[in-house]
Structure formats: structure tokens, C-alpha cells
Structure 1
């Protein structure tokens, strides 16, 4: 599985993240409200976001989300933890979107593109969401995510932070809320 594909939808396209995307992404990330409910609520600070951005470039799998209408970068996401064994699994995460695009279906579109692509290669996609992040939990429900009962503890600046694990399987995606727009 190529974790940095180019994917195109009706309103967005995704492409591999590049060092030259720093200014556009940090402009989005510097908005404190983007991170208000996120476990890494300090990610609006330049040194914190720089570490996040550098990690994305170093690990691969990071994608820039680009608005087709304006050509502007409006967010980012990643494919990580790809494991082809036993039917295959990959994680989608580290996603964020500029606030003017919240609640307008952009999250569903870029995640739908990523899921559609992932299910060509794996049978299961997981998402680790901060246990207290109600915005992301609602977004997961909107795209057909199912809580697994698994948890994950991530080290953050404020200390250990609990995450819950959502999953979407190839089968559940094929009959879920994004199936008509993103057939597999």
C-alpha cells in the first residue's frame, strides 16, 4: 500500500505532504480553536506544531488536503501503522481541517477518499480518538466509525492521555453512510 497516494474527490484532493506546505498548514494550525477539544490542545504553538509537522514528514503517510475550488491547503491527515498481515489494517489519523470547512462535509469527503483507497489494500481501518474529544467522536459516528472497546494511552505534554479506538471494516464501509459516494 502506498501510504501517500494522490486522491481526488468532488471538492478536495489529497496529495503527499511536502516541506513547502509548512506555511499554509501552520496558518491553519495556529488557530487555537482547531485544537480546543484535541488532546494536544497546545498544538497551535509553533514549536509544538513544528514537531508534529516534522514527525509527519519523517514517518511518511502524511497527506495535504487541498480545496479544488481555491487551490488552498485546508488541512492534513495521515495513513500510519500499516500492517498487511491477516487481511490488513491501517490507521487514519492526525487529521485536522481549517475551521471555515467544519460542518460542511469536507471531513467526510477526504476521509471517504482515504477509506475508499485503504479498502483496496486492507480489511480494517482504525482511528484513535481522544476519549474526551467530542467533536472527533461525532465526526467518527458520521462516517460510520464503530467504537471497538479498545483504548490507547498516548504521551502528551500534559501527560498520558486516553484514546478510544474506532474501526471501519471493508464490509461496514460498503453498507455505511459514505458507501454511495465512495464505492469500493
Structure 2
């Protein structure tokens, strides 16, 4: 399998590029908004030290991105690929957050669509781990065609275990609805 976990992807709305160490301060400026994390299992990720741990995990994943709005070149957020499983023909997409100024404007859908279209060239299933109380993300994932398949405890990189729902999108279903 030749799945590059950090390609550069773009459409008319956004550009998704590999995350670099030098992106920390600019990305933290976006992530420091507590309202972004209010439904997330780790609600204190807006704090610099907590976000620093998140960022370290993003860098070590070798699948993380920073997302720019193309029109303004403002940082719109971040996401990543992780847990590539060639045997199961699956990869997870997650750790996504979008700046509030871009909520409800199609940026999250554009991001996930780019990431799903790219990943489905290599795998048959996409997995999404979503916090049990993160209703915004659950609803957004369901709009993309994701189906809840289980519930698990997840320990995010260096963080306490939290209850999550596991959603899945199959390539066949994705190709049918897109």
C-alpha cells in the first residue's frame, strides 16, 4: 500500500498541508478558544500545556495537518489520519477541530470530504472516534454518511481515558452518496 499519511490536499475552499513543528503558535492561537472544546472529552485542550501534549501527539502521528482557508489564508483548523491498518483496509480520521469563525460555513465538510476521497483510494473503511458527549461532531459525521458501530474507551495521546463512540464510513457507501 502506498498511502501517504500527509499529502497536500485542496479544493476551492481549503488547503490541507502537513503539520510542522513551526505551526505550534499559530495553531494554538486557534485552539485556545475554550468553546471549540466544550463538547470534547478533553475540554481543557484550549490550555497551552494541554494543547502542547495534543500537538506533540499530532507531530508523532506523522499524519497530522494544518488547514487553511484559501481565500484569506487564515488557519481554519487541524485534523489527522491515524491507525492505518492495512490488514483491515482501514484508517482513522480525527483529532479535528475547526476555528469558530468557520463553523457552519462548510469548512469541516470540505476537510472531511478531501480526506475521505483521498483515503478511499487506499482503504475500504474510515473510522472516526467521537466523544460520547460531542454531539456536534456526531451530527457532522452522520451527515457524511458515518454509522455508529460501537462504543469504546479511548486514551488520547497522554490524556485520561474517555468514553467514545466509533463511527465508520465504508467506501462503497461513500461512493454511492458522493
Q: Deviations over 1:9-41 (max 9, x none)?
A: 111010100111112110111000000000010
Flag the 1:153–1:25 CA change in 2: closer, same or farther, 3 A. Answer: same
Q: Distance in 2 between matches of 1:25 and 1:115?
A: 23
- The answer as to whether partners of 2:92 and 2:128 remain within 8 angstroms in 1 is yes
Q: Distance in 2 between matches of 1:14 and 1:85?
A: 27
Q: Distance in 2 between matches of 1:71 and 1:112?
A: 20
Long gaps (5+) in structure 2: none
Root mean square deviation of aligned Cα: 1.4
The number of aligned residues is 175
Residue 73 of structure 1: aligned partner: 75
Residue 51 of structure 2: aligned partner: 49
Q: How does 1:121-140 map to 2 (within 5 A)?
A: 121-140=122-141
Residue 154 of structure 1: aligned partner: 154
Q: Give the TM-score of the pair, scaled to structure 2.
A: 0.94
Q: Distance in 2 between matches of 1:159 and 1:17?
A: 24
Residue 110 of structure 2: aligned partner: 109
